[in-house]
Amino acid sequence: MNERYEPSRRGVIRGSAAVGGGIATAALLAACGSDAQQPTGDSVDGAGVVGAIALAKVPVGGGAIIAETETVITQPAAGEYFGFSSICTHQGCPISKVTAEHIICPCHSSHYDTRTGEPVAGPADQPLTPRTITVTETEVEYS
């Protein structure tokens, strides 16, 4: 019973791969819980502002989609700004287009009102989550 176990080369490689995969998975999971998920280019200040976009980037009769913060800012008429989540309430797809009247999801063609975020067409039956916005002389801040 004094036999000694000698692992095969294949067994060592498999074991090393399993350990390496476990370490990579642990690192990924650790990153998921860190501040690394904060949107780049935008900061959270004491007032709860998540980001800002220049007024010039929000066209009249349309809007701007900020993918990093899952936000859409609309300007259906000159000087009228509204902010919403850019994630469709039907199945969680990101919206893809903003017109003067509708925020449009490409997945199943849900359309939302650009002023209220209420669904007006398609399978969505819940409104987009509103974002708090503040319009300054040069930008729209949102949270």
DSSP line for 94-122: BP-EE-SSEEE-TTT--EEETTT--EEES
Q: Which pLDDT score, from 0 to 100, does residue 42 have?
A: 39
**Would you say residue 22 lies in a domain?**
no
Q: Could you give the CA distance from residue 15 to residue 101 in angstroms, rounded to a whole number? A: 58
- Tokens 């007006």 map to which residue? 120
CATH number, domain containing residue 84: 2.102.10.10
**Would you say residue 59 lies in a domain?**
yes
**Would you say residue 33 lies in a domain?**
no
State mean pLDDT over 99-118. 96
State mean pLDDT over 87-105. 96
Q: Which pLDDT score, from 0 to 100, does residue 27 have?
A: 43
In whole angstroms, how far apart are CA 35 and each of 60, 78, 85? Answer: 35, 37, 21
**Would you say residue 25 lies in a domain?**
no
Q: Which pLDDT score, from 0 to 100, does residue 98 have?
A: 96
Whether residue 46 has pLDDT greater than 50: no
Number of domains in the chain: 1
Mean pLDDT of the chain: 80
Question: Per-residue pLDDT tens for 85-94?
Answer: 999 999 999 9
